[in-house]
Amino acid sequence: MLLTAQNLIKKAGKTLGLPDEKIKEVIIPDRVIEVKIPVRMKNGLLRVFRGFRSQHNNVLGPYKGGIRFHPQVSREEVIALSTLMTLKCSVAGLPFGGGKGGVVVNPRELSLEE
């Protein structure tokens, strides 16, 4: 998914005649943060979940994008989704950049309190 998003940007950049350096600037996210999220479970044990936040680009405005909770979410997926959000907001004329978060967890296995 990440390669597909990056290839879309490369193709569009080449079509627009952008220099390779400018295309590279758009492909690379502003930052990617990886976190550990400790949660006290109902049974009293502490579980630590892994999370990611990609802030792709904020040239048009603040980073926009939600959080995906899924057992197979990955850093690469979150980067790809934030990249696509940047493109979506730009094409739609919205004053937002692209962002996306993800937590490696199966929400169906958690109680409401967790």
CATH number for the domain spanning 47: value is: 3.40.50.10860
Task: Say whether pTM exceeds 0.85.
Answer: yes
Q: For residue 56, is it within any domain?
A: yes
- Per DSSP, helices labelled H in 28-109 are 75-92
Per-residue pLDDT tens digits for 29-45: 999 999 999 999 999 99
Per-residue pLDDT tens digits for 11-21: 989 999 999 99
Per-residue pLDDT tens digits for 89-112: 999 999 999 999 999 999 999 998
* Spatial separation of the C-alpha atoms in residues 50 and 27, rounded to whole Å: 24
The average pLDDT across 67-78 equals 97
**Whether residue 61 has pLDDT greater than 90:** yes
Q: For residue 4, is it within any domain?
A: no
Q: Find, among 68, 34, 36, 46, the residue nearest to 114 by Cα.
A: 46
Domain extent, residue 55, equals: 29-109
3-state secondary structure of 18: coil
Could you say which of 14, 22, 88, 100 is catalytic? 100
Q: For residue 5, is it within any domain?
A: no
Q: Find, among 44, 45, 47, the residue nearest to 105 by Cα.
A: 47
**Whether residue 74 has pLDDT greater than 90:** yes
Q: For residue 8, is it within any domain?
A: no
Q: For residue 65, is it within any domain?
A: yes
Q: Which residue has the tokens 């550990």?
A: 36
| Count of structural domains within the chain | 1
Say what the pLDDT of residue 93 is.
Answer: 96
Respond yes or no: is residue 11 known to be catalytic.
no
Q: For residue 2, is it within any domain?
A: no
Task: Please count the other Cβ atoms lying within 10 Å of the Cβ belonging to residue 76.
Answer: 15
**Tokens representing residue 38 in the block:** 């400790």
